[in-house]
């Protein structure tokens, strides 16, 4: 993992591979077999790289190492490296794995690869190189012409940075970006499912909170922790309000709580705007139900939150957007349930 408390690493897998790779009888027949190293310098590929059975391009190919996959270097031979490489195509969410009958972790494969395009944990400035290439891959992910797996490649490179260079000042940002990419991928998947329109949040597919919560826990009082805290609100939102004031009430509370705990956070203005919008919605919902006092209170609360936005984030678009909402309320223009007008 990319945080101080790590799951099983490739080093542990190497130990397992060493213990299980050769039955005693077979070992007796092949005493000349090379002994696999218990550990070695960690490395990562910046490009899709072929593994060969020998340090020669004409030799048999073993497998391909994808961008961002972790490796351990066993030995060097000129411009070639013999590595144990994790070549799995995709990582699965722990909570999605079955309780029983789950497959054992596949040991990494061994082979020779060319050393160009390989960043080792001893590479000077390697953390900056990984950050830069991860950002490049993340940019490609937003390009319709970019590689289909660019987002996953970016995520893996950010993770490798944090694992291989734990003392780098880039680790909090890399950890947040890795968590955010996973969050956005899961969010897009959840929004495509029929359950996305379920009223209650717990009825919808939830994003895995583990990495976001670790960012908050391990990097408290940082920009990255504030961003992660804001993202976590997604799992508390209703899929479809269905005209029920309960949903915008709870959501407004969540956004206001975030703004109070992160007064100068990078998402505070957005959180306050989201709360203003929900108070505007409540103004219309309560009015439609004939609850005039509640409607008036929500209207006034929207004004108060907008005033706070103007005071602390005057140059933000969110302050202007909130002002536009309050203007509509003042003019009697519905914000929710436009067909009532």
- In a shared domain, residues 126 and 3: yes
Max avg pLDDT among 34-43, 77-86, 170-179, 194-203: 170-179
The parent domain of residue 245 ranges over: 241-341
Question: Is 335 part of any domain?
Answer: yes
65 beta partners: 49
Task: Take residue 45 and report the two structure tokens written for it.
Answer: 């590929």
- In a shared domain, residues 283 and 247: yes
Question: Is 18 part of any domain?
Answer: no
Please give the DSSP secondary-structure letter assigned to residue 166. T
For 85, the 3-state DSSP assignment is strand
Could you tell me which residues come within 8 angstroms of residue 290 by beta carbon, excluding any fewer than 6 positions away?
none
- In a shared domain, residues 44 and 63: yes
Question: Is 44 part of any domain?
Answer: yes
Which pLDDT value is given to residue 240?
Answer: 86
Question: Is 19 part of any domain?
Answer: no
Question: Is 23 part of any domain?
Answer: no
112 beta partners: 52, 82
- In a shared domain, residues 147 and 46: yes
Question: Is 26 part of any domain?
Answer: no
- In a shared domain, residues 304 and 174: no
Question: Is 279 part of any domain?
Answer: yes
Relative orientation angle of helices 223-232 and 246-261, to the nearest 10 degrees: 170
Q: Give Cα 18 to chain centroid, integer Å.
A: 33
- In a shared domain, residues 263 and 177: no
Give the chain's domain count: 3
10 closest CA partner among 60, 82, 83, 118: 83
Contact 310, 301 (CB under 8 A): no
Task: State the pLDDT confidence band at 92, using cuts at 50, 70 and 90.
Answer: very low
Write the pLDDT tens digit of every residue in 269-316.
999 999 999 999 999 999 999 999 999 999 999 999 999 999 999 999
Q: Is the pLDDT of residue 143 over 50?
A: yes
Q: Is the pLDDT of residue 97 over 50?
A: no
160 closest CA partner among 84, 69, 91, 97: 69
Task: Take residue 57 and report the two structure tokens written for it.
Answer: 């391009």
- In a shared domain, residues 211 and 269: no
- In a shared domain, residues 77 and 128: yes
Which pLDDT value is given to residue 171?
Answer: 98
> In CATH, what number is assigned to the domain containing residue 66?
2.30.30.40
Question: Is 98 part of any domain?
Answer: no
Q: Is the pLDDT of residue 25 over 60?
A: no
Longest Cα–Cα distance in the chain: 89
Write the Ramachandran bin of 51: left for phi over 0, alpha for psi from -120 to 50, otherwise beta: beta
Of residues 132 and 21, the one with the higher pLDDT is 132
153 closest CA partner among 223, 236, 67, 78: 67
- In a shared domain, residues 127 and 77: yes
The label of the residue with tokens 């409607």 reads: 295
Question: Could you give the CA distance from residue 65 to residue 83 in angstroms, rounded to a whole number?
Answer: 10
Task: State the pLDDT confidence band at 337, using cuts at 50, 70 and 90.
Answer: confident
- In a shared domain, residues 2 and 136: yes
The label of the residue with tokens 């914000």 reads: 335
Contact 230, 271 (CB under 8 A): yes
- In a shared domain, residues 141 and 192: no
- In a shared domain, residues 306 and 341: yes
Of residues 23 and 113, the one with the higher pLDDT is 113
């Amino acid at each position: 993992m990319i945080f101080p408390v790590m799951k099983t690493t490739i080093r542990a897998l190497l130990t397992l591979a060493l213990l299980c790779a050769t039955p005693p009888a077979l070992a007796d027949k092949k005493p000349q077999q090379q002994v696999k190293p218990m550990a070695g310098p960690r490395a990562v590929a910046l490009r899709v790289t072929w593994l060969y059975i020998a340090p020669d391009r004409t030799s048999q190919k073993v497998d391909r190492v994808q961008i961002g996959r972790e490796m351990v270097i066993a030995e060097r031979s000129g411009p070639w490296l013999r590595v144990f490489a994790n070549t799995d195509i995709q990582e699965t969410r722990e909570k999605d794995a079955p309780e029983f009958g789950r497959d054992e972790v596949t040991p990494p494969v061994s082979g020779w690869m060319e050393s160009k395009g390989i960043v080792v944990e001893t590479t000077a400035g390697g953390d900056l190189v990984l950050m830069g290439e991860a950002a490049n891959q993340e940019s490609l992910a937003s390009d319709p012409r970019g590689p289909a797996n660019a987002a996953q490649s970016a995520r893996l490179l950010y993770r490798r940075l944090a694992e291989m260079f734990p003392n780098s000042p880039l680790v909090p940002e890399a950890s947040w970006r890795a968590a955010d990419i996973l969050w956005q991928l899961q969010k897009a998947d959840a929004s495509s499912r029929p359950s996305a329109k379920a009223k209650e949040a717990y009825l919808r597919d939830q994003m895995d909170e583990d990495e976001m919560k670790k960012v908050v826990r391990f990097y408290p009082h940082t920009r990255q922790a504030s961003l992660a805290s804001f993202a976590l609100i997604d799992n508390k939102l209703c899929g479809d309000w269905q005209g029920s004031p309960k949903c915008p009430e709870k959501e407004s509370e969540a956004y206001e709580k975030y703004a109070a705990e992160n007064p100068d956070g990078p998402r505070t203005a957005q959180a306050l705007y989201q709360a203003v919008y929900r108070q505007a919605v409540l103004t219309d919902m309560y009015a439609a139900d004939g609850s005039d006092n509640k409607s008036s209170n929500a209207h006034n609360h929207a004004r108060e939150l907008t005033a706070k936005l103007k005071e602390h984030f005057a140059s933000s678009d969110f302050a202007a957007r909130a002002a536009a909402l309050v203007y509509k309320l003042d003019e009697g223009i519905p914000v929710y349930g436009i067909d009532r007008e």
